[in-house]
Structure 1
Amino acid sequence: MTVGNGAGGTGGRGVDWAGVRERVTALRKAPRAGEVFGARQYGFGRGYGHDFRLRAPLTEAEVTEAEEEFGVRFPADYRGFLLRVGAGGAGPSYGVFPLCRDERGWHWLDGEARSDHAFLTEPFPSAEQQARWTAEVDAREPVEADFPDEASHLAAYRAWNAEYERVYDLRTAGAVRLSNQGCGYYHWLVVTGPERGTVWEDLRAGDGGIEPLTLPGGGARTSFGEWYLDWLTASTREACEARGR
Structure 2
Amino acid sequence: MSAEIWTGVRERVLALAESPGVEKVFGFPYGGTPLEDPLTEEELADLERYCGVRLPDEYRDFLLHVGAGGAGPTYGVFPVRRDADGAWQWHGDGGDMTLPKRLAEPFRQHVNPEELDALLADQPDEEAYEDIDDYDTANDAWEERLFATLWSDDHTVGAICLCHLGCAQRQWLVVSGPERGRMWDDARCDYVDLEPLGVTFAQWYLNWLTEAEKTAGTVSPSETR
Q: What is the TM-score when the length of structure 1 is the normalising length? A: 0.72
User: Which one-letter code corresponds to 2:10 in the other structure?
Assistant: R
Distance 2:97 2:183 in 1: 17
* Partner residue of 1:36 out of 25, 28, 43: 25
Distance 2:80 2:218 in 1: 32
What stretches of structure 2 of length at least 5 have no aligned partner?
220-225
Deviations 1:143-186 (A, max 9, x none): 799xxxx89x959x659827834751322221100111111111
Percent of aligned positions that are identical = 40
Distance 1:143 1:240, change over 3 A: closer
User: Which one-letter code corresponds to 2:38 in the other structure?
Assistant: P
Correspondence for 1:26: 15
Deviation at 1:111, TM superposition (A): 5.3
User: Which one-letter code corresponds to 2:44 in the other structure?
Assistant: V
Distance 1:236 1:60, change over 3 A: same
How do 1:95-174 residues align onto structure 2 when only pairs under 5 Å count?
Answer: 95-104=76-85, 105-110=87-92, 114-117=96-99, 119-126=102-109, 129-132=110-113, 135=116, 138=119, 161=144, 164-165=147-148, 168=151, 169-174=153-158
Distance 1:57 1:24 in 2: 13
Of structures 1 and 2, the one with the larger relative CO (CA 8 A, separation 6+) is 1
Correspondence for 2:61: 80
Deviation at 1:138, TM superposition (A): 3.1
Task: Say if 2:206 is the partner of 1:206.
Answer: no
For the Cα contact (< 8 Å) 1:109–1:115, is it kept in 2? no
Correspondence for 1:58: 39
Deviations 1:194-233 (A, max 9, x none): 111100111112233311112xxxxxxx110111011110
Distance 1:64 1:240 in 2: 38
Partner SS for 1:194: coil
Distance 1:63 1:192 in 2: 17
Distance 1:61 1:227, change over 3 A: same
CA RMSD of aligned residues (A): 3.4
Which structure: greater helix fraction?
Answer: 2
Residue-pair matches, total: 209
Deviations 1:11-30 (A, max 9, x none): x9665211110100101222
Deviation at 1:187, TM superposition (A): 0.9
Q: What is the TM-score when the length of structure 2 is the normalising length? A: 0.77
